[in-house]
Chain A
Amino acid sequence: ETGVTQTPRHLVMGMTNKKSLKCEQHLGHNAMYWYKQSAKKPLELMFVYNFKEQTENNSVPSRFSPECPNSSHLFLHLHTLQPEDSALYLCASSSGTVHQPQHFGDGTRLSIL
């Protein structure tokens, strides 16, 4: 149990589908993050939320739409994805201070047909 829970664990979808990834943190953190991990590439930061407000969008295509209804929950809404979007999507949370590390969930393995 990492304190950060992601669902679903695996997702297969067609390019025209709409789906959502969910992340929940039980650590009382104020900041939440979405990362993309593709094969043989470094983890890439996608979005940052601080106190429910999106504070950073790392040039992510609009087919990825994040939502943070409160500081414990984070969603990533997906629509009309491309095959190159197949990857492991990791959620992380932190207290927001530079002296505390980010804690990661187990990720959602996404496959686009």
Chain B
Amino acid sequence: GAVVSQHPSWVICKSGTSVKIECRSLDFQATTMFWYRQFPKQSLMLMATSNEGSKATYEQGVEKDKFLINHASLTLSTLTVTSAHPEDSSFYICSAPRQEEVLGEQFFGPGTRLTVL
């Protein structure tokens, strides 16, 4: 199957700092990537859809100024959590469909566990 990587796999930061998470599709090009957040024992929550060369589409209730998304190339999307606070501590996961025509066949990165102190 297709490979999606994320970096870092975990990060601990102080409240008020910004954290950048990278998502890369290693063996295919991804015009679209998705960013999810998952709190312990809860379901995946779609935060935003990242589109190469254009602005991201954010889900209702997700602050676009707090969660900055940049899809700079066909293999890289980044999520920056600005001025992180303890309530932002979560498991952040990106995904990408190998084929744009079949968005549901998504390949997920391994996730980034963010802890804000």
- Do chains A and B interact in one complex? no
Q: Which residues of A contact B (CB under 8 A)?
A: none
